[in-house]
Structures are given as structure tokens and as C-alpha cells.
Amino acid sequence: MTADSWRNLIEHIGLLYQEYRDKSTRQEIETRRLQDSQTDPEESSPSEETPSEAEPTSTTESKAPPQISLLRNSNSRFNLWQDLPEIRSSGVLSILQPDEIKLQEAMFELVTSEASYYKSLNLLVSHFMENERLKKILHQSEAHILFSNVLDVMAVSERFLLDLEQRVEENIVISDVCDIVYQHTVNHFSVYITYVSNQTYQERAYKQLLQDKPAFREVISQLELDPKCKGLSFSSFLILPFQRITRLKLLVQNILKKVEEKSDRETTALDAHKELETVVKACNEGVRKMSRTEQMISIQKKLEFKIKSVPIISHSRWLLKQGELQQMNGPKTSRTLRTKKLFREIYLFLFNDLLVICRQIPGDKYQVFDSAPRGLLRVEELEDQGQSLANVFILRLLENADDREASYMLKASSQSEMKRWMISLAPNRRTKFVSFTSRLVDCPQIQCVHPYVAQQPDELSLELADVLNILDKTDDGWIFGERLHDQERGWFPSSMGEEILNPKIRAQNLKECFRVHKSDDSQRRKLGSRSRQ
């Protein structure tokens, strides 16, 4: 394929990546709902069984004559590999097994979504970054923070897409794409880490520019109204690289679930997934590092030590949770007293390795009167203590600032807040439901149907179609979950998801997850055996 014909195909792609991604995840949700409602998930048809970014939105569309040649999509609908005229006319669909057709769709989906992503990146550069009016308004340093190394990211996407296109053009049956993903991840995808790590400064700069420069605000608004943007905001283009690198990992997972076990294609898929996971983790760590450093400096300035001072700022320390609780006054035996005067306010700063207990004092300051390493904390819930002692738990410091054991009886404002504190303070404490990593046969699961942005450090941001194991839940509408595709844990409102009721679908989700992460498990076993030696 020549460069000119390739660019022509890109120009005719109907969906921007934001639209493509949104439709695909919503299709995935609907597919899982359909599976969950069936008595036997094995009775589902091939098109229902596996969600795909490339699935049509209705059976009518899938039967309609395709108006595409490879990536051309003038009517803005998804296209399947099996719908391509070249595939239909070849007779290959009558030869391939259903599982192989699903695998072909998963690989083709990775290619078409990359093309859509490149189109959106190209629009970010040509329509926004290179706009002459915007160039005159922005100082060079402001433009650098706002757009970072997006040109490098786009160049990497272009090179990646060209190699994928070439593979698709080699044969009507795609041999593999994960080997290409692996090579590009290892050799080129570090540009994503640079871009995503700048996200904190990028967001801040954008907000500041909107506030301080009316001319900037006006130009951005006008550019957003252009039909090319299809009603999408400028900020939705800025976050494209982070969304893509995360989604690419999930697309490789989807391929990995469909390749034959112990095959060469499974090996390349596992290798590609492992490298992508490394890049995604580095991206996440880059974002966290920027915000954590500033947060720790801010906290340090607010603390005044009544006890021996503890250095707060450390490159390996970050905040897990902070907030106000009520401490019971007097000895533990007086807890039967039914009076609000029994409690007084205290404020906790919980870091990944340290707990600091304070009282708030005037001037937005906090006086520290006790502390303990996080590993030396124990919690115990009090039950059936009456209304005035509802949501009360015992916090024990096995070794506090005075090198003594200390106990605090603490009252939270709600059941969810109590459980959130208890899990944060003692993370190894057994939850209501056991984590999937224990290889439990069944565990409650939920799929995200509304995106959620974490508001507190102990919360988990959710993307549409995320599947999570439910580790704990509260009566006031909060869930503590563990996401299957990356094992990240955190709290989120139960209204953000729908519980998966079909036990066979839950078992299938776990089986797929174990397979995706089996290389991680073998690596952990190797490390474990080395440490024992």
C-alpha cells in the first residue's frame, strides 16, 4: 500500500477515536448484559459471545452490503473483518473454524481502532495545535505544556499503523498482530510515558489559560464548534494518548483470550501484553509521582509536631487517605455511656507506610500527637453497640511514637466511611468476599455502566465496561472492588455498575483473567522461590 492510498483511507474513516471507543464499550456492556440474562451462556451465538470494538450496532447493519474497503467507513458504523468484500468473495469464511473467525475479528479490531485513533490525533495537531490564531495567543512554554510531545506520539502511531496495515495486506487471513505490537511497544512506546506523565501540568495549564486568557477561551470554543470535531471537546483530544495505551492493552488481552493455548500466537500475545502492562504502569506512576510530590509538600507545611518530629516528605511515600474521625474520650470501659460528649474530633493522615494522628488547630494547621508505622496497625469492628456507638471501630497501634502500644476507639460518619478507614488502615484484613487472586471458584462481580472519576485516594476510577470482583460492600451504597484486567483496588458508588448474576459468566471472566496474567503468576513464583533460597 502506497503512502498516498494509506492517507486516503485514513481521511475516509468515519469515526473519531472518541466515538469509536464510546460505541465499542457500550456494545461490550450490552453484549455482557445479554450473556448474563441467558441461562446457559454457551447457547449464545458467536457474534453475541465476545464483545468487540468492531461489532455492528444491529443485525440489520451486519447484513447490509459493506461500503468499505478495509478502513474506509463513510457511513460511520463499525465494520467487521468478515464483512469486507474481499473476505466474503474469497470463500474463506466457510473454511475457517468459528474460533478462528473470532480471533480474526479481534486482530482486525486492533488495526481499525488504531486508524481511528490516528485520525483523532491528526485532528488534534492540524486543527488545534497548528491553528495560527492559537499560536499567536500561546507563549512557547504554554504550548509545550499543553501539547507536550504529541508530535512524537503521532509519529509513533503512524509507524505502528503502517506496519499493521502491511500485515493486513499480506493475506486475507491475518497471521498475527501481537508480534508487531510487541516490537513497537519495546522500541517506540516510551513516548506515551513522557506524554502521560505531563498530564497533571497539562490539566493545570489548560484550566489556567481558560481563566486568564479570554482570547484563548474564545478560539478553543470556536474550534470545538467546527463540524470536524463532531461536538467533542478539546480536552477529549488531549487525553487520547492515555486512553489509547490503556485500551491497546485490553485489545491484546482480547486477542490473548482467543488464541489457541500453548501456541506461538499465545506466546507473542503474552509478550506483547507484558510489555504494554509495563508501559501502562509507568504512565500511571508518572502521573502519580507528579501529583504526589506536590501533595506531600503541602501536607508537610500544615503539620506541627507535639511529639518527636517525623520527616513526612519521602520519594517512596504517598497519601492513601485523610479525614476526620471522632475519638472516644476516657477508658475503653466507658463506651457504654450514651452521650455525644464522649467523642472529640481528631484528624488522620494515612500514608502507604505511616499513620499520623492529629488535632486540627487554627490557621488550617494540624497538631500531631501520635504516629505509627502502617505495618503495626490493627483494627477491630464493634458490633451491636447501639445507635450512639454505630460505625465505631478500635484502632490499635502496636508501637506508637512513644514506643508503646496504644488503642483508639474511633467513630466514623457512616458505615461506608468506617469500612473504608478499616481497609485502608489494615489492608491485609479479610474482606467480606475473597479476592480473585485467591483462586476462588466464584466471587460477586460487577460491570461498570457509568464512568467514575475517583474523588479520594482510596477510590477507584472506572471506565465503561470494566469488570470487577466485589470484595466488600456497604449498606449505604459503596463497593470495594478489584478490577480484573489490572488488579487495581478501590471504592466506588454501587450505582456506577450492574452486578453480573450468571455464575458461568463470572467463572468465564475469572478463567480469562487467570490466562491473561499467567505469565505474571509464573514470574511471581520464580521470585518467590529465589527469595526462599
pLDDT per position in the chain (533 positions), as tens? Answer: 444 544 555 555 678 888 888 888 888 888 888 888 875 544 444 333 333 433 333 333 333 322 223 444 433 344 688 888 888 899 999 999 999 999 999 999 999 999 999 999 999 999 999 999 999 999 999 999 999 999 999 999 999 999 999 998 888 899 999 999 999 999 999 999 999 999 989 999 999 999 999 999 999 999 999 999 999 999 999 999 999 999 999 999 999 999 999 999 999 999 999 999 999 999 999 888 878 888 999 999 999 999 988 889 988 899 999 999 999 875 444 445 454 557 899 999 999 999 999 999 999 999 999 999 999 999 998 876 666 678 999 999 999 999 999 999 999 999 999 999 999 999 876 665 655 444 455 789 999 999 999 999 999 999 999 999 999 999 999 999 999 989 999 999 999 999 999 999 999 899 888 888 775 554 444 434 433 33
What is the spatial order of strands in the sheet that 343-351 belongs to?
303-305, 365-373, 354-361, 343-351, 319-328, 406-411, 392-397, 377-381
Asked whether residue 52 is assigned to any structural domain, the reply reads no
The total number of structural domains in the chain stands at: 3
- Same domain? For 267 and 324 the reply is no
Q: Kindly state whether residues 167 and 209 are assigned to the same domain.
A: yes
CATH for 360 = 2.30.29.30
- Is 71 inside any structural domain? no
Same domain for 271 and 146, yes or no, is yes
Amino acid at 74: S
Whether residue 392 contacts residue 410, with contact meaning beta carbons closer than 8 Å, is answered with yes
Other Cβ atoms closer than 10 A to 76: 13
Instruction: Judge if 131 and 268 occupy the same domain.
Output: yes
Q: Under a CB-based contact definition with an 8 Å cutoff, are residues 149 and 124 in contact?
A: no
Q: Of 398, 425, 452, which residue sits at a domain end?
A: 425
CATH number at residue 509: 2.30.30.40
Asked if residue 494 and residue 375 are part of one domain, the reply reads no
Q: φ, ψ for residue 346 (rounded to 5)?
A: -130, 165
In a domain, 109, yes or no: yes
- Do 150 and 241 sit in the same domain of this protein? yes
The partner residues of 359 in beta bridges, in order of sequence, read 367
DSSP state of 66: P
- The Cα–Cα gap between 467 and 465 comes to 6
Residue 99's domain spans which residues? 4-32+79-293
Same domain, 275 and 371: no
Please indicate, yes or no, if residue 59 is contained in any of the structural domains: no
Identity of residue 245 = I
The answer on 88 and 191 residing in a single domain is yes
**Is residue 319 a part of any domain in this protein?**
yes
Contacts of 377 (CB under 8 A, 6+ apart): 355, 395, 396, 397, 398, 425, 426
Cβ neighbour number for residue 402 with a 10 Å cutoff: 12
Based on the domain organization, do 323 and 408 belong to the same domain? yes
Asked if residue 280 and residue 148 are part of one domain, the reply reads: yes
Contact 433, 472 (CB under 8 A): yes
DSSP 225: T
Q: Which residue has the cell 478501590?
A: 490
336: phi > 0 → left, psi -120 to 50 → alpha, else beta; which?
Answer: alpha
Strand 354-361 and strand 489-493: the pairing is unpaired
What is the distance between the alpha carbons of residues 408 and 91, in angstroms, rounded to a whole number? 73
Measured CA to CA in angstroms, residue 424 lies from 203, 213, 491 at distances of: 28, 42, 11
